[in-house]
């Protein structure tokens, strides 16, 4: 090998070694599917010279079970607010450093005050969502905004309900004019009986594919999350969304950092980035969920600002309740849910 060849070989080795030494940091994000605008993710990666690894779960219970089984390596988690207390009890979460979250000031105080921990010690809100009904107006001619639509046998096999016991049992409690966070066993038995009148008609319990099934025509009536359904309704004129008149469960998905996070500094930077008003606008417009970033509201399009799937009707909001952590009493719900699914 000549001197020139040796020189270029040496340069190549140095370049390869330098490249290895400058590998981009990776933010490991564990969240619901389709919950962040790709544009926002790309902006974060470019601004912080990093890469985002986005993994998904389909239920809070799946997230909780995975973490309790010892899963680690995540930097940011996005569970619903009522999962935060058990995560704190398990010593899973890192206390947030507010000095690194200067965009915390942009949060809507009306939403923050609804949270079990308005100080947001371990988690801050990312998106506010409502559970409602998506339907095909061409097929469901007699639609009324009520949870009792699931009792209509004429749509048997063409409907789905969420695979989420708090949402489904909560909807039944609303129908019965009972507290959707009750732990009274007699009330829960009444709710179970109501749910059973619905589930004999449903094709499946479904958390992710119901929106695609509605769009394809496989399903005609589905229980689902507002943003999920609005993403397909926005593209199809015959598909509609309604929040039942009885009220609905309110849920806020939260941004938090595991105690074992490989990159806690980058995790704080990501959470702070998401609450920049311009980024909150991008994510709200993409997901059709409301990012409770008050500083972003004026930047939203008129289509979003007037959409009652995003900014809920005040009268329905007054009848709705935020889901509470029930502690050990949650076993009463899981027992009933197992009986409901066993009967399906």
Q: In this prediction, what percent of the chain has a pLDDT beyond 90?
A: 78
pLDDT single digits (tens) 286-315: 999 999 999 999 999 999 999 988 998 888
Q: What is the pLDDT of residue 281?
A: 98
Q: Give Cα 306 to chain centroid, integer Å.
A: 22
Q: What is the pLDDT of residue 3?
A: 43
- Could you state, in order of their start, the residue ranges of all structural domains in the chain? 25-128+251-305, 129-250+312-342
Least confident of 18-22, 159-163, 215-219: 18-22
Nearest to 167 by CA among 122, 226, 115, 238: 226
How would CATH label the architecture of 129-250+312-342?
3-Layer(aba) Sandwich (3.40)
Global confidence as pTM: 0.82
- Which fold does the domain 25-128+251-305 belong to in CATH? D-Maltodextrin-Binding Protein; domain 2 (3.40.190)
- Mean of all residue pLDDT scores within the chain: 92
- Taking 60 as the threshold, does the pLDDT of residue 319 lie above it? yes
- Taking 60 as the threshold, does the pLDDT of residue 2 lie above it? no
Q: What is the pLDDT of residue 321?
A: 86
Same fold, 25-128+251-305 and 129-250+312-342: yes
pLDDT single digits (tens) 34-93: 999 999 999 999 999 999 999 999 888 899 999 989 899 999 999 999 899 999 999 999
- Taking 50 as the threshold, does the pLDDT of residue 8 lie above it? no
Q: What is the pLDDT of residue 128?
A: 92
Alpha-carbon distances of 226 from 54, 149, 282, 290, rounded to whole Å: 22, 17, 17, 10
């Amino acid at each position: 090998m000549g001197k020139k060849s040796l020189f270029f070989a040496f340069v190549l080795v140095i370049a390869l070694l330098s490249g290895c030494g400058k590998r981009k940091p990776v933010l490991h994000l564990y969240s619901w599917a389709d919950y962040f605008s790709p544009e926002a993710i790309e902006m974060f990666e470019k601004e912080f010279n990093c890469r985002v690894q986005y993994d998904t779960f389909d239920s809070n219970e799946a997230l909780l079970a995975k973490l309790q089984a010892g899963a680690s390596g995540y930097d940011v988690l996005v569970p619903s607010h009522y999962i935060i207390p058990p995560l704190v009890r398990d010593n899973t979460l890192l206390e947030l450093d507010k000095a690194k979250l200067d965009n915390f000031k942009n949060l809507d105080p009306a939403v923050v005050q609804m949270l079990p921990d308005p100080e947001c010690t371990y988690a801050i809100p990312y998106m506010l969502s409502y559970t409602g009904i998506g339907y095909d107006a061409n097929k469901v001619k007699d639609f009324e905004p009520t949870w009792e639509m699931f009792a209509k046998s004429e749509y048997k096999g063409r409907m789905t309900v969420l695979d989420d016991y708090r949402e489904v049992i909560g909807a039944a409690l609303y129908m019965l004019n009972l507290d959707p966070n009750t732990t009274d066993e007699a009330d829960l038995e009444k709710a179970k009986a109501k749910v059973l009148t619905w589930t004999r008609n449903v094709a499946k319990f479904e958390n992710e594919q119901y929106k695609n099934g509605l769009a394809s025509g496989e399903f005609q009536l589905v229980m689902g999350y507002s943003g999920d359904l609005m993403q397909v309704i926005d593209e199809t004129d015959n598909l509609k969304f309604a929040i039942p008149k009885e009220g609905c469960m309110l849920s806020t998905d939260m941004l938090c950092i595991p105690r074992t996070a490989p990159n806690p500094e980058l995790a704080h930077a990501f959470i702070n980035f998401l609450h920049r008003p311009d980024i909150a606008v991008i994510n709200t417009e993409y997901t059709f969920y409301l990012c409770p970033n008050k500083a972003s509201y004026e930047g939203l399009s008129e289509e979003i600002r007037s959409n009652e799937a995003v900014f809920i009707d005040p009268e329905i909001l007054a009848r709705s309740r935020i889901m509470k952590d029930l502690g050990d009493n949650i076993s009463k719900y899981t027992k009933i849910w197992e009986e409901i699914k066993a009967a399906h």
